[in-house]
């Protein structure tokens, strides 16, 4: 299928052939008939992507701060890799479309093949021939509503949500500042709700259109004219509510809103505009200021989008999906005239030219733009519609790798090392989105791109699988690959529950010389400074290890924090230091005691984890979120046998005792990613002298799950192992 993509590095657009998306149980596959272009939003994206790096930084200071935070925490090289990967990765455009259902997932009962539907969602309902869309972001299109009109459902839902935030009542007066696409939708919807409307915009043609759409008056953006019409329509009282849709760095729209609204009125911001509230004015009128950020409740909730959970109507009346339905019902009743809002129509094949014209200002008069998609040719369907062949030939390396998943970490910290790994052939790459898989396959030389996990795991040419998906799928994919006889690298964590880990242990079974190996991405144990630390303690059995981590808080809406998808920071990062403590102790942990200090905001959680080792040593992990300023993020102390080592941020090591003291310092931190991959390759190739780490990785997973159980049950957990581990 074809899909529009854009590259942030230089703003280049392409329309590429990418694999068909895989349909998960709670999704439907939609063949697009029309996709709607949000002129303001998508023009801004295209224009920003074409800016210089300096201008991009000025436009997004929030992202600059994120880069600086990463630089302080991880050093220059990892930060540059992450920035470069962000610039090189393709982004999709579009978030509103309409089409017919081609396939419904097993958990979807309400939609069927052939149904006419509208779909929404950034990165979901894109400008593409096919889209896989979660059930809660899809609604049937009523009879009598054209697919062209239905393609605008996302904009209609955004407008409805803004009105609901304003708490409009029958007979009230409303001012709409900014009469672009969203503003014109609001004019019609406010009129349909029984409100009187005043419009304000710099463009006289947009004012004329607003009057045609039902506004009683519309004026230019001069304060006196706008205030005159607002007072006239409201009977001298001032409007009850103001809806601001502008995108500007000027504070003028906000100042105008305060002037137009009545005492104790409401102002709702729907646009990307500068906001500075003059205390005397806003306090004096006691104005309510609100935001409206999306199509309705659920748009930022993984349970709602990815898992299909809905909110009971008695508690949440207007979800995103219910706003979609309400908008289409209004169109079906004839209360909205979409013919005035869709001003330009283009075939999908002209999409790149259209975006160029938008960025160049050639479509300044456009209000709503739609792309129309041709009917598919009546030809025999492709044998593998979810797979795109990139290069011919067979993989010949000793390790023939398939990659499943490619998030930010994999792309910035693992993939850049692949070209330097001896004996590695890259066979197939699988991601949820075909556009990402195709781009990675071409950049790194994979032979094919796919959206089907089974295609990679079942490929007889592949003998090793690297799993870098989100945490909730790690164990399932690792088990499948092991059962298929593949070596497996899985990004930490290996599993989120004991029930997930048990089948992996069973799949490993009685491991003979030719059995597949399991690898987990605990890279810190492979750092050069970690190896120096172990060498310093050669011959010392009882050791104490204390790892102290001062981490920046992770946003509450990050998938890391989602209990089902990420497992929280315990599984996302604390696990590294549990593994490292066991590694330095070189002994079996026999007891685990963990304490968590939860924070409802998920911003300042802390963990204290203690492990008692069979050797008599002790391991302590002290992990604190939100106390990182001015300190090294990570410090590890190893003590025993009259010797000590202090490892600071994996850039400095201080050794005392034994053969003497020394200090090793590096300009950049080395957390061991490349050395880990080299050791993995040696193990997978069965190279002479290569160490098999399978059992130690399983042990770390068991210790992590014991820590979780200790937190839940508030007790010391005895660790039972399933392998005859030989750590020392």
**Over the stretch 679-718, which tens digit does the pLDDT of each residue have?**
999 999 888 888 889 989 999 999 999 999 999 999 999 9
Q: Is the pLDDT of residue 125 over 50?
A: yes
**Burial code of 267-282, b = ≥16 C-beta within 10 A, e = fewer?**
bbbbbebeeebeeeeb
What span, in angstroms and rounded, lies between the C-alpha atoms of 209 and 326? 24
**Over the stretch 627-641, which tens digit does the pLDDT of each residue have?**
656 678 899 999 999
Classify 700 as helix, strand or coil.
Answer: helix
Contact between 469 and 50 (Cβ < 8 Å): no
Q: Looking at residue 490, what is its pLDDT?
A: 96
Q: Is the pLDDT of residue 659 over 90?
A: no
Contact between 514 and 487 (Cβ < 8 Å): no
Q: What is the mean pLDDT of residues 533-562?
A: 87
Which region holds residue 235: left if phi is over 0, alpha if psi is between -120 and 50, else beta? left
Q: What is the mean pLDDT of residues 296-321?
A: 93
What span, in angstroms and rounded, lies between the C-alpha atoms of 723 and 702? 11
**Over the stretch 455-494, which tens digit does the pLDDT of each residue have?**
999 999 999 999 999 999 999 999 999 999 999 999 999 9
Q: Of the candidates 513, 546, 562, which is a domain's last residue?
A: 513
Q: What is the CATH number of the domain that holds 460?
A: 3.40.50.720
The answer to the question of residue 170 being in a domain is yes
Q: Is the pLDDT of residue 452 over 60?
A: yes
Positions of E strands within 552-597: 589-597
Q: Is the pLDDT of residue 591 over 70?
A: yes
Beta-carbon count within 10 A of 68 CB: 11
Lowest mean pLDDT among 343-352, 420-429, 665-674, 719-728: 719-728
Residue with tokens 């094919």: 448
Q: Is the pLDDT of residue 726 over 50?
A: no
Q: What is the mean pLDDT of residues 444-458?
A: 95
Which region holds residue 304: left if phi is over 0, alpha if psi is between -120 and 50, else beta? alpha
Q: What is the mean pLDDT of residues 93-119?
A: 96
Confidence of residue 661 (pLDDT cuts 50, 70, 90): confident
Q: Is the pLDDT of residue 162 over 80?
A: yes
Q: Looking at residue 182, what is its pLDDT?
A: 95
Q: Looking at residue 604, what is its pLDDT?
A: 64
Q: Is the pLDDT of residue 292 over 60?
A: yes
**Burial code of 343-360, b = ≥16 C-beta within 10 A, e = fewer?**
beebebeebeebbebbbe
Averaged pLDDT score across all residues of the chain: 90
Q: What is the CATH number of the domain that holds 147?
A: 3.90.180.10
Contact between 640 and 544 (Cβ < 8 Å): yes
Contact between 727 and 586 (Cβ < 8 Å): yes
Q: Are residues 560 and 661 in the same domain?
A: yes
The answer to the question of residue 323 being in a domain is no
Q: Is the pLDDT of residue 153 over 70?
A: yes
**Cα 709 to chain centroid, rounded:** 29
Cis omega before residue 36 (within 30°)? no
Q: Are residues 414 and 537 in the same domain?
A: no
Q: Of the candidates 275, 291, 307, which is a domain's last residue?
A: 291
- The percent of the chain in helix, strand and coil, each rounded to the nearest 5, is 35, 25, 40
* β-bridge mates for residue 197, sequence order: 174
What span, in angstroms and rounded, lies between the C-alpha atoms of 283 and 289? 11
Q: Looking at residue 379, what is its pLDDT?
A: 45
Choice between 339 and 200, residue whose per-residue pLDDT is larger: 200
Q: Is the pLDDT of residue 556 over 90?
A: no
Q: DSSP character for 213?
A: T
**Over the stretch 1-16, which tens digit does the pLDDT of each residue have?**
999 999 887 888 999 8
Q: Are residues 159 and 144 in the same domain?
A: no
Q: Are residues 633 and 509 in the same domain?
A: no
Q: Are residues 504 and 537 in the same domain?
A: no
**Over the stretch 376-427, which tens digit does the pLDDT of each residue have?**
755 445 667 899 999 876 667 899 999 999 888 898 889 999 989 989 999 9
Report which secondary-structure segment, H or E, holds 694: helix 694-713
The answer to the question of residue 366 being in a domain is yes
Q: Is the pLDDT of residue 722 over 60?
A: no
What span, in angstroms and rounded, lies between the C-alpha atoms of 302 and 309? 9
**Percent of the chain having pLDDT more than 90?**
70
Q: Looking at residue 646, what is its pLDDT?
A: 96
The answer to the question of residue 608 being in a domain is yes
Q: Is the pLDDT of residue 82 over 90?
A: no
Q: Are residues 364 and 391 in the same domain?
A: no
Confidence of residue 725 (pLDDT cuts 50, 70, 90): very low
Positions of E strands within 431-554: 448-450, 464-467, 487-490, 518-520, 544-551
What span, in angstroms and rounded, lies between the C-alpha atoms of 339 and 161? 22
**Over the stretch 190-248, which tens digit does the pLDDT of each residue have?**
999 999 999 999 999 999 999 999 999 999 988 999 999 999 999 999 999 999 999 89
Tokens of 508: 């490993």
The answer to the question of residue 308 being in a domain is no
The answer to the question of residue 54 being in a domain is yes
Count the domains in the chain: 4
Q: Of the candidates 291, 306, 331, which is a domain's last residue?
A: 291
The answer to the question of residue 728 being in a domain is no
Q: Are residues 588 and 613 in the same domain?
A: yes
Q: Is the pLDDT of residue 512 over 70?
A: no
Q: Is the pLDDT of residue 603 over 70?
A: no
> H/E/C letters for each residue in 105-133?
CCCCCCCCCCCEEEEECCCCCCCECEEEE
What span, in angstroms and rounded, lies between the C-alpha atoms of 496 and 472? 7
Q: Are residues 538 and 628 in the same domain?
A: yes
Residue with tokens 């931190």: 669
Q: Are residues 135 and 165 in the same domain?
A: no
Q: Are residues 435 and 560 in the same domain?
A: no
Closest residue by Cα to residue 240 from 208, 262, 218:
262
Q: Looking at residue 630, what is its pLDDT?
A: 67
Q: Are residues 582 and 700 in the same domain?
A: yes
Confidence of residue 721 (pLDDT cuts 50, 70, 90): low
Structural domain boundaries, residue 161 = 155-291
- Phi–psi pair at 501, nearest 5 degrees: -75, -35
Q: Is the pLDDT of residue 346 over 90?
A: yes
Q: Looking at residue 63, what is its pLDDT?
A: 72
Q: Are residues 497 and 394 in the same domain?
A: yes
What span, in angstroms and rounded, lies between the C-alpha atoms of 481 and 476? 9
Q: Is the pLDDT of residue 541 over 70?
A: yes
Q: What is the CATH number of the domain that holds 590?
A: 3.30.360.10
The answer to the question of residue 256 being in a domain is yes
């Amino acid at each position: 299928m074809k899909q529009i993509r854009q590259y942030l590095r230089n703003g280049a657009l392409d329309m590429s052939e990418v694999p068909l998306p895989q349909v998960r149980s709670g999704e439907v596959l939609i063949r697009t008939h029309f996709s709607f272009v949000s002129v303001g939003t998508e023009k801004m994206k295209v224009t920003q992507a074409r800016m210089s790096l300096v201008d991009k930084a000025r436009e997004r200071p929030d992202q600059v701060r994120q880069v600086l935070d990463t630089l302080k925490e991880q050093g220059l090289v990892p930060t540059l890799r992450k920035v470069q990967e962000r610039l090189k990765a393709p982004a999709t455009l579009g978030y509103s479309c309409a089409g017919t259902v081609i396939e419904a997932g097993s958990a979807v009962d309400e939609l069927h093949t052939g149904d006419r539907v509208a779909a929404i969602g950034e990165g979901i309902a894109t400008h593409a021939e096919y889209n896989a869309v979660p059930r809660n972001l899809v609604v049937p299109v009523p009879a009598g509503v054209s697919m062209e009109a239905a393609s605008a459902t996302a904009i209609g839902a955004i407008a409805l949500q803004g009105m609901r935030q304003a708490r409009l009542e029958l007979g009230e007066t409303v001012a709409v500042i900014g009469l672009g696409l969203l503003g014109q939708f609001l004019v019609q919807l406010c009129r349909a709700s029984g409100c009187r409307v005043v419009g304000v915009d710099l463009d006289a043609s947009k004012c004329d259109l607003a009057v045609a759409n039902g506004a009683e008056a519309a004026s230019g953006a001069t304060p006196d004219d706008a205030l005159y019409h607002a007072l006239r329509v409201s009977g001298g009282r001032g409007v009850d509510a103001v809806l601001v849709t502008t995108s500007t760095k000027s504070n003028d729209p906000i100042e105008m809103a305060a002037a137009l609204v009545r005492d104790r009125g409401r102002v709702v911001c729907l646009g990307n505009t500068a906001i500075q509230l003059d205390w005397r004015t806003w306090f004096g009128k006691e104005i309510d200021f609100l935001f409206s950020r999306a199509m309705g409740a659920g748009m930022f909730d993984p349970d709602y989008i990815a898992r299909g959970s809905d909110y009971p109507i008695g508690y949440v009346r207007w979800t995103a999906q219910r706003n979609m339905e309400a908008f289409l019902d209004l169109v079906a009743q004839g209360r909205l005239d979409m013919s005035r809002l869709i001003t330009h129509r283009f075939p999908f094949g002209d999409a790149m030219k259209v975006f160029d014209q938008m960025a160049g200002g050639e479509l300044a008069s456009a209000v709503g733009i739609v792309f129309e998609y041709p009917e598919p040719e009546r030809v025999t369907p492709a044998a593998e519609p979810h797979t795109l062949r990139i290069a011919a030939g067979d993989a010949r390396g000793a390790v023939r790798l398939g990659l499943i998943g490619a998030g930010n970490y994999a792309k910035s910290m693992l993939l850049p090392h692949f070209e330097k790994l001896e004996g590695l052939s890259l066979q197939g790459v699988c991601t949820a989105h075909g556009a990402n898989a195709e781009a990675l396959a071409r950049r790194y030389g994979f032979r094919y791109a796919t959206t089907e996990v089974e295609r990679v795991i079942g490929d007889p040419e592949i003998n090793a699988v690297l799993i870098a998906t989100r945490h909730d799928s790690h164990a399932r994919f690792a088990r499948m690959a092991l059962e298929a006889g593949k070596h497996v690298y899985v990004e930490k964590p290996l599993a989120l529950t004991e029930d997930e880990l048990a089948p992996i242990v069973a799949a490993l079974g009685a491991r003979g010389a030719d059995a597949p190996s399991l690898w987990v991405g605990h890279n810190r144990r492979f750092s050069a400074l970690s190896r120096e630390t172990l060498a310093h303690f050669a011959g010392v059995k009882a050791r104490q290890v204390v790892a102290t981590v001062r981490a920046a808080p992770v946003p509450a809406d990050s998938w890391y924090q989602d209990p089902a998808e990420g497992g929280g920071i315990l599984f996302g990062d604390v696990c590294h230091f549990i593994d490292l403590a066991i590694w330095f102790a070189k002994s079996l942990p026999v007891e685990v005691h963990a304490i968590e200090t939860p924070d409802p905001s998920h911003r300042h959680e802390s963990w204290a984890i203690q492990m008692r080792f069979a050797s008599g040593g002790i391991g302590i992990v002290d992990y604190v979120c939100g106390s990182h300023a001015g300190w090294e993020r990570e410090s590890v102390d190893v003590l025993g046998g009259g010797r000590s080592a202090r490892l600071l941020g994996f850039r400095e090591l201080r050794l005392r005792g034994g053969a003497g003291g020394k200090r090793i310092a590096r300009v950049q931190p080395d957390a061991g990613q490349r050395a880990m991959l080299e050791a993995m390759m040696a193990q997978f190739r069965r190279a002479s002298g290569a160490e098999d780490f399978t059992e130690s990785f399983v042990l770390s997973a068991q210790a992590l799950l014991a820590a979780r159980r200790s937190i839940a049950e508030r007790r010391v957990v005895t660790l039972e192992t399933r392998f005859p581990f030989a750590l020392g």
